[in-house]
Amino acid sequence: RTGHPEVPCLLWGRTALIRGAEGGAPVIPWRLPPFRLRGAINHGVQVWRSRVKSRGTVRYRMRLSPREMVILRHTLEGASLEQMAAVLGVKPKTVWTHRRHAMDVLGIRRLSDLMRLPQAVFREIPAW
């Protein structure tokens, strides 16, 4: 498990790499007439949905350290790097590094995108 959300996946082709990676994923052969391609895609989606239903809800597991989660929460509340560094007793560069790693884990590239997250996402985190 990588910690990333589970995403429906269809493999297209029959190369050695794909055959080795199948692991139960629906595989679509390279050459299919359009009507059969649509059927194969629909079948793959149905297989994925049945797996999700059998597991219950899909859980998005974030692999963030407690420090990274605290820093994200306070970033969303508007605290600056310097303010967080002073409270945590570390350098601003350390705070920046924790925030950057957390954003990488979440798949967020820009600080402006992080700021669009609802603050409730990290509400249950203990204070500083």
Q: Residue 94 belongs to a domain with what CATH number?
A: 1.10.10
Task: Please indicate, yes or no, if residue 72 is contained in any of the structural domains.
Answer: yes
- Confidence at residue 25, expressed as pLDDT on a 0 to 100 scale: 58
- Confidence at residue 45, expressed as pLDDT on a 0 to 100 scale: 77
- Confidence at residue 85, expressed as pLDDT on a 0 to 100 scale: 96
Backbone angles phi, psi at 116, to 5 degrees: -80, -10
Tell me, yes or no, whether 99 and 75 share the same domain. yes
Beta bridge partners of 12: 28
Tell me, yes or no, whether 70 and 116 share the same domain. yes
* Residue 23, domain extent: 11-55
Is residue 122 within 8 A of residue 73, CB to CB? The reply is yes
Sign of CA dihedral 113, 115, 121, 124: positive
Task: Please indicate, yes or no, if residue 113 is contained in any of the structural domains.
Answer: yes
- Confidence at residue 60, expressed as pLDDT on a 0 to 100 scale: 41
Tell me, yes or no, whether 75 and 41 share the same domain. no
Tell me, yes or no, whether 110 and 79 share the same domain. yes
Task: Please indicate, yes or no, if residue 3 is contained in any of the structural domains.
Answer: no
User: How many domains does one find in the chain?
Assistant: 2
- Confidence at residue 81, expressed as pLDDT on a 0 to 100 scale: 95
Mean pLDDT of successive 10-residue stretches along the chain, which has 128 residues: 51 52 58 77 77 52 78 91 95 96 86 80 55
Task: Please indicate, yes or no, if residue 6 is contained in any of the structural domains.
Answer: no
- Confidence at residue 28, expressed as pLDDT on a 0 to 100 scale: 63
- Confidence at residue 96, expressed as pLDDT on a 0 to 100 scale: 96
- Checking 109-113 for CB contacts under 8 A at 24+ apart, the result is 111/75
H or E segment to which residue 38 belongs: helix 34-55
Tell me, yes or no, whether 79 and 35 share the same domain. no
C-alpha to C-alpha distance for 103 and 114, rounded to whole angstroms: 7
Task: Please indicate, yes or no, if residue 60 is contained in any of the structural domains.
Answer: no
